Structure 1
Amino acid sequence: MRPGPRAARQAALLLSLAALSPCGAFAQDSGEVTTPSSDTEDKPSAEEVRENVVSAGEDPLQKWHAETQTDEIDERVGRPLKVLLYGSARLDYTIANSTGKLGDAGSRFGAFGEWAPSNRLLLFARAEAGLDLIEGFSDLSKSGSKKSEDDDSKVFDRLLYGGIETRRFLLVFGKNWSTYYQVSGFTDEFDSTGGDASGTYNAGTDGGPTGTGRADLALQAHISLKGLAERIGAQSLHLNLQAQDGRPIPGFDDAKYGVSIGTSGIIRFSKNVELGLAYNFAEIQLADRPALAAAGINGNAHAALLGVRWIDNDWYLATTVARLVNHEATDGLNYFDGWGWEVYARRQITTRFSIVGGWNWLKPDADEIQANDYRQRYGVIGARYALSRENGLERYAYVEWRIDDSREENGDKVGNSIVLGLRMDL
């Protein structure tokens, strides 16, 4: 797996960017730097780690909602219109099949606005676009970097929504991370891969049509059941609801899902442990659709998920188990029923350095012969080094080695790969 001279120069360029200090070209001029200046200082608390997990995650609405829920009443009264411009530059260098390639790893930019007409109500909206900083999208299987359409465009819509928030619930409409992802995101934490076994990014999409990833034109409600949580002795309890209608079935231009419903619930038992349940249903009309049956679809699409995660100041451990029916598809777009299992672990060694590991495992049921030899089965080990963390912005370099025993539908092996990457939130 030795790259050529040009590939080696590209890797050297990426590593030189990673070596830039927080005071270099990527730094901001204002804000307090929250990353300790020395690895000998105390590690963050479990609550700070939890906040960092939300901050570094793919769903920006989850982070914003958590922040607004901590505001005092007086801070909300008369709040003026606030608009935030943001971006994240993400590059990686992948070595696979004895070749190396510098590519984009899910870069994006966007704008977010909020306005509080009273101390009881917040209005908000977000528009976020993905963009390729290098040249096209060479790997659409990466976590958080999938496009909603399989084309060669270098800029595409990732998120586009608006909504309202009160003290008891949040209501949002548009293209947004799904209610299903509130749980499947427990294990979607690798920088270079992941999310393949949970049903999040099904059938080669971003999960938008079915509603399990970045759901298309979805109406969502996020409700905090604080009183019920207190009565059962839990720290928090959140219920999420979602509805869609008429989205295209991946791989079939003339067929659409009917009503799609998603729901999830997350209960936090203590400062360390959370349990999540998620379910997504998409109606499929098979009448006069022989092509759907030929592709292995024999009924409505179902995705059910159980997730657990444990967080403290040294560890992040999470696992999800999914049952998927008429939801997942092979690389040849043959649909199948199957089980998926994901595990993600991160160990904080110092305040800046951590190691990661885990696996994705997805296998069709034994009687799903149309899937042929298709399977997702790989492990990942890697490391992450924080360059800085400022105002919730993540800036770090990472390396991940994917040890792959996956097979395509025709039986071809996917093969191992090594990824060097850089994330710089701006």
Structure 2
Amino acid sequence: MHKKILAAAVATAVAGPAMAVNVFDDGTSSLSIGGRVGVVAKNYDGENTLNNDSARINFKFAHKFDSGWTGQGVAEWGFRAQDEYENGEKKDTFFNRLGYVGLSHEEMGAFAAGKNWSVTYDVSGWTDSYAIGGGSALGIYEGREDGDIDGSARADDVIQYRNSFGGLNIGLQYQMEDHSVTNAQRDSGYGISASYDLAMGLSLGAAYSETKYVDQDKSKSATAGLKFENERLYLAAMYGELTNKTKLADKLNAKSKGIELYGRLAMNNVLQGFSLEAGYNELKDDSSAAVDQTEATLKETMIGAIYETGPMQFAVEYAIDDSKNDAGKKNGDNTLSLQARYFF
């Protein structure tokens, strides 16, 4: 149980080989450094681009107390391995991803405060497991600004509690008010998640979050799903009903419904480290008032292959985009992506 709590307390949600360098560990205090760097080549609509692949570096500190508690400090920054520009201006090379301090205990659970993966993501992130793309129909990384401010991705200004009781896992969080965003001032937010792990490798889970804003309507996220995993196979399916949480046709949806599916099959009998994957995202507007409705939809199907060897991952994904604009016409481009990533 203690290992499960610690894993949730310092979750990094990284697909691929789990790598980290143990810089120091005397049995009481420890420090590890990890992360990844990579590039993704994309071909779509006749264009070829070479992009950064969500590079990051993290530092994890831990100290075991005689009382049975373990203290943790985690800091993680994303960085751009190659320069990127927006409106002619160079983007920041480094940017904050995680930063929190915590305490965990085998029986009492894990407490954390700062910027951390949300308790919503503990469940909703089951389908966000693509090698290159990801889940995009449950509003995890969306909201008035992004899922960090809205409490569904890497939640800002958050206090969290997680614990496991046999096969039952729970997560609770509360977000403080925020004054750093000019067009969406958060008053407060909360989230709760619960999942149950069965012995056969099947897990069932659900999550709910709500965020209040000053002089604006609150956002809500209700998701539920299941996953199955063993040594060879990983399958996950999620369904969500969302309020003021997603965008279609550049418009914040008053109501929307989303579905995400993901599967991965290890083919070590063919080639050690080789696997096949597939995924599906669908998001539709579900607003009742005509003024809030949009006919735009998100619909994407992905197939791909992954090869992992040592600290490296190579992947290819082909995404078939059948999304439609508000006029009901297809406006997405099919994309072929090739990835090379190094974990450290």
State the TM-score bracket (shorter-chain normalisation).
Answer: 0.7 to 0.9
**Letter of the structure 1 residue corresponding to residue 233 of structure 2:** W
Question: Structure 1 residue 118: deviation in Å?
Answer: 1.5
With structure 2 as the length reference, what TM-score do the two structures score? Answer: 0.85
Runs of 4 or more above 6 Å deviation: none
Q: 1:273 aligns with which of 202, 224, 234?
A: 202
Amino acid at match of 1:378: E
Q: 2:165 aligns with which of 225, 235, 241?
A: 225
* Residues 122 and 405 of structure 1: CA distance in aligned 2, closer, same or farther (over 3 Å): same
State the AA in 2 paired with 1:341.
I
Shift of 1:83: 1.2
Alignment CA distance shift 1:409-1:334 (3 Å):
farther
Could you tell me which of 134, 142, 150 is aligned with 1:202? 142
Matched residues in 2 for 1:357 and 1:193: separation?
11
Distance 1:369 1:314, change over 3 A: farther
Q: Paired residue for 1:301?
A: 219
Aligned to 1:356: 277
Structure 2 residue identity aligned to 1:177? W
Residue 167 of structure 1 is aligned with which of 92, 106, 119?
Answer: 106
Which residue number corresponds to residue 337 of structure 1? 255
What is the distance in 2 between the residues matched to 1:267 and 1:408? Answer: 38
- 8 Å CA contact retained: 1:203, 1:333: no
- Given the alignment of the two structures, is residue 158 of structure 1 paired with residue 97 of structure 2, yes or no? yes
Q: Give the AA of the match of 2:91.
A: D
For 1:190 and 1:261, how far apart are their aligned partners in 2? 27
Q: What residue identity is the alignment partner of 1:128?
A: E
Q: Is 1:193 aligned to 2:133, yes or no?
A: yes
Preserved contact between residue 237 and residue 268 of structure 1 (Cα < 8 Å)? yes
Q: Which has the higher strand share?
A: 2
What does 1:27-426 align with in structure 2 at a 5 Å threshold?
Answer: 58-59=12-13, 79-118=27-66, 120-136=68-84, 152-168=91-107, 169-203=109-143, 205-226=145-166, 236-247=167-178, 253-286=182-215, 292=216, 299-330=217-248, 332-350=250-268, 351-365=272-286, 367=288, 369-370=291-292, 372-388=294-310, 395-408=312-325, 413-426=331-344
Tell me which structure has the larger Cα radius of gyration.
1
Please provide the CA RMSD for this pair: 2.8
Q: Is the 8 A contact 1:217 1:244 kept in 2?
A: yes
Change (3 A) 1:117 1:331: farther
* Matched position secondary structure for 1:118: coil
Mean Cα deviation higher: 183-192 or 405-414: 405-414
> Who is 2:22 aligned against?
none
Whichever residue aligns with residue 155 of structure 1, its letter is: F
After superposition, what is the alpha-carbon deviation per residue over 1:277-317, rounded to whole angstroms, capped at 9, x for unaligned?
1000112354xxxxx5xxxxxx4211001020011222111
Change (3 A) 1:315 1:255: closer
C-alpha displacement at 1:206, in angstroms? 4.5
**Helix, strand or coil: the match of 1:202?**
coil
Tell whether the 8 Å contact from 1:330 to 1:371 is kept in structure 2 after alignment: no
Cα distance between partner residues in 2 of 1:422 and 1:205:
30
**Residue segments in structure 1 that go unaligned for 5+ positions in a row:** 1-49, 65-75, 139-150, 227-235, 287-291, 293-298, 389-393
Residue 372 of structure 1: SS of its match in structure 2?
A: coil
Q: TM-score, normalised by structure 1?
A: 0.69
Offset, 1:211? 0.4
2:243 corresponds to which letter in structure 1? V
Q: Is the 8 A contact 2:145 2:184 kept in 1?
A: no
How far residue 195 of structure 1 moved from its aligned partner, in angstroms, is: 2.1
Q: Give aligned pairs, total.
A: 321
Shift of residue 355, structure 1, vs aligned partner? 0.7
- Aligned CA distance change for structure 1 residues 422 and 258 (closer, same or farther; 3 Å): same
Counterpart of 2:21 in structure 1 is none
AA aligned opposite 2:314: A
Amino acid at match of 1:354: S
Once the two structures are TM-superposed, the CA of residue 333 in structure 1 deviates from its matched residue by 4.3
Q: Which structure has more helix as a fraction of its residues? A: 1
Q: For the residues of structure 2 that align with 1:277 and 1:342, how far apart are their CA atoms?
A: 14
Taking the aligned partners of 1:134 and 1:352, their CA distance within structure 2 comes to 28
